[in-house]
Amino acid sequence: MRALVVEDDSSVAPDVAQALHAAGFIVDVAIDGEDAWYRGDVEGYDVVVLDLGLPKLDGLSVLKRWRAADRLFPVLILSAREAWTEKVEGIEAGADDYLGKPFEMGELVARVRALVRRAAGKASAVIEIGRLSVDTRRMSVTLDGRSLRLSPLEFRCIDYLAHHPGRAVSAGELAEHLYGAAEPGDGNAIEALVVRLRRKLGPKCIETRRGFGYLIEGGAP
């Protein structure tokens, strides 16, 4: 999963990014509203953590621009201001959740995970697909009840496919959501990753739809 953290406070942004990275997210950081708006407009994020008090362009304006452009990724607003009118304005502008400062990092991570699950139509932290069980909180995968030893990259791949069951995900889309901007993936890298996963999951757990991409068995055809 790929997250964008939009926060200009140098004492907050690195901690949020580190906490999300430890939770299995690929994280990009923007420190002003104009950069945030551009990144959200051209990149495919799974979730955004957005501060309201930003230089160049305030967070609420950024959010309104995204929603006007049909950028539908879930957004968690951060703000040190506690006025209920501001919370209402943020929600009505298209925010999915609101967290006041100061906050506990564990709560932020839990809320971000919940937003990603809800966006994928999932209610539980454990996603069951066929013989697979993907625990998004523990970052673990079991097959027929047997725990599998996966690398962080392998888990992120299974996690992303599990959040999109029944849909063939292209190699380009997988690369976009599995690698950071400094480590771009390509079709060959994704193919090699899928080969490694098939050795651990079995050859039929990840299907290939020629010309479309990859999906986990158990989803809709």
Of 187, 123, 105, 198, give the one whose Cα is nearest residue 158. Answer: 198
Of 31, 189, 180, 11, give the one whose Cα is nearest residue 105. Answer: 11
Q: pTM (2 decimals)? A: 0.85
For the beta sheet containing 75-79, the strands, ordered from the edge strand earlier in sequence to the opposite edge, are 26-30, 2-6, 47-51, 75-79, 97-100
Kindly state whether residues 106 and 135 are assigned to the same domain.
no
Band of pLDDT at residue 98, cut at 50, 70 and 90: very high
State yes or no: pLDDT of 217 exceeds 70: no
Band of pLDDT at residue 219, cut at 50, 70 and 90: very low
Where are any strands of DSSP class E within the chain?
A: 2-6, 26-30, 47-51, 75-79, 97-100, 126-129, 132-135, 140-143, 146-147, 206-209, 213-216
Q: What is the CATH number of the domain that holds 175?
A: 1.10.10.10
Supply the range of the domain harboring residue 175.
126-216
The pLDDT tens digits for 168-183 are 999 988 988 888 665 5
Last residue within a domain, chosen from 119, 142, 166: 119
Q: How many CB atoms lie within 10 A of CB 155?
A: 19
* pLDDT cut 90: percent of the chain above it: 59
Kindly state whether residues 91 and 172 are assigned to the same domain.
no
pLDDT of residue 57: 94
Rounded to whole angstroms, how far apart are CA atoms 192 and 202? 15
State yes or no: pLDDT of 38 exceeds 50: yes
Kindly state whether residues 45 and 80 are assigned to the same domain.
yes
Q: Which residues, in sequence order, are bridge partners of residue 206?
A: 216
Q: Scanning the structure block, which residue is given the tokens 């305030």?
A: 58
Inside any domain, residue 150: yes
State yes or no: pLDDT of 157 exceeds 70: yes
Instruction: Give me the chain's average pLDDT, please.
Output: 89
pLDDT of residue 105: 95
pLDDT of residue 181: 61
* Residue 49, amino acid: V
Rounded to whole angstroms, how far apart are CA atoms 162 and 190? 16
Last residue within a domain, chosen from 70, 89, 119: 119
Band of pLDDT at residue 186, cut at 50, 70 and 90: low
131 vs 134, higher pLDDT: 134
Enter the tokens of residue 189. Answer: 């890298």
pLDDT of residue 176: 87
Kindly state whether residues 26 and 60 are assigned to the same domain.
yes
Length of the chain: 221
Structural domain total, the chain: 2
Inside any domain, residue 221: no
